[in-house]
Amino acid sequence: MNTQTVRDEYRPRQRRWSAAELLDRLTLREIELSSEQREELEPSFWNFLCSEDDSRHFYRQAQARRGRYSDALFSFLEVWREDEANHAAGFKKIYQALYGQSSEAIDARLAARRVDFSRIEEFLGDEFTLCLVLAYDELATTHAYHRDFAFYESLGPDELKTWIRLVTSDEALHHANLLRLIGHQHRHRVPEARRALDRILEIDLRGGDYEATFVLDHSGAGFNLSPEELSSLCAQAIVKKLERIHGGVPTAQELM
Ligand SMILES: [Fe+2]
Ligand SMILES: [Fe+2]
């Protein structure tokens, strides 16, 4: 009898949908914002577009270090980057509807942004800390977008209400996929999570310039979680979830 334990392959979960299709017919005429409100919100909408689009840079950084990471991480990243590109496409549609810029003009502005990963370099060399920084960021984004449901509802068009719900549910799924990946590949390192998350939180709260790294973009316009909430709802919440995983076989609900 073969007594060798065969570990199940890690498979990230994904819900496929198209932001471009959903928002295809969105026009400024239907959006209930005054021109002053629109102007005031421009930096926030630009930031949301940039940080979703910055997933391209994050993926490129991971690819450059491919030898250090497992196949499981890459099966997550392949699904994740498709979702993030879909989110970027959606925020681009919304930005175009609100501010009337051409697709080419927006792409040129995005391409001209400075990209520098030195602020988060220390987390990238090790798959476990890379998963933690991403899990922390996805959870922060989930809370932040969830808090914006009423705002998107107030804008009028039904597709914007659907949009923010679909994006938020993707971000929650990314977070859950990452916790499952940590349980699958790095369970023995869970006792290190508290210290690593303290460090992630410290760097996030220190602020400084966000340089297109996808993660730790929590000091710019439009972000609606306080430092205390980043600590309790994100960093500490992940430690608690992972310690539950470490203590036994996690249930599906524990990972959500
Ligand atoms: Fe996203
Ligand atoms: Fe995400």
pLDDT in tens, 192-214: 999 999 999 999 998 878 899 99
Handedness of CA 175, 180, 185, 191 (dihedral sign): positive
| Alpha carbon distance 165, 110 (integer Å) | 25
Question: CA angle, 59 as apex, 209 and 50 as ends, to 5°?
Answer: 45
The number of the ligand nearest the C-alpha atom of 80 reads: 2
For the chain, what's the residue count? 256
- Provide long-range contacts, Cβ within 8 A and 24+ apart, for 116-124: 116/211, 116/212, 116/213, 117/57, 117/61, 117/211, 117/213, 118/211, 119/203, 119/208, 119/211, 119/213, 119/216, 120/203, 120/213, 120/215, 120/216, 122/199, 123/196, 123/200, 124/61, 124/62, 124/65
Contact criterion met (CB below 8 Å) for 32 and 155: yes
Write the single-letter amino acid at 11. R
- Give the pLDDT confidence of 112-139 residue by residue, as tens digits: 999 999 999 999 999 999 999 999 999 9
Ligand 2: centre distance to CA 183 (Å):
19
User: Angle formed by the axes of helices 193-206 and 237-246, to 10°?
Assistant: 170
Which residue segments constitute the domains of the chain, with CATH numbers given?
24-255 (1.10.620)
Closest to 212 in 3D by CA, of 29, 47, 6, 2: 47
Please report which ligand is nearest the Cα atom of 54. 1
173 CA to centre of ligand 1 in angstroms: 10
Closest CA to 121 of 192, 188, 215, 48: 215
Give 31 Cα–ligand 2 centroid separation in angstroms: 26
DSSP secondary-structure letter at 234?
A: I
Residue 94 CA to chain centroid, in angstroms?
18
Grade residue 219 by pLDDT with cuts at 50, 70 and 90. Answer: confident
The rounded radius of gyration (Å) of the Cα atoms in the chain is 19
Question: Distance, CA 156 to ligand 1 centroid (Å)?
Answer: 22
pTM of the model as a whole: 0.92
- CA–CA dist 202, 243 (Å, integer): 21
| Ligand with minimal distance to 140 CA | 2
Farthest-apart Cα atoms in the chain, separation:
73
Rounded mean pLDDT, 150-161: 96
pLDDT band (50, 70, 90) for residue 249:
low
Residue 4 CA to ligand 1 centre (angstroms): 39
Mean pLDDT over all residues of the chain?
Answer: 92
DSSP assignment, residue 215? Answer: S
Ligand closest to the CA atom of residue 176? 2
What is the distance between the alpha carbons of residues 239 and 65, in angstroms, rounded to a whole number? 26
Cβ(145)–Cβ(225) below 8 Å: no
Quote the ligand 2 centre to 212 CA distance (angstroms).
15
Mean pLDDT of 86-99: 97
Q: What pLDDT digit, counting tens, does each position of 43-71 carry?
A: 999 999 999 999 999 999 999 999 999 99
Q: Of the bound ligands, which one is closest to the alpha carbon of residue 76?
A: 2
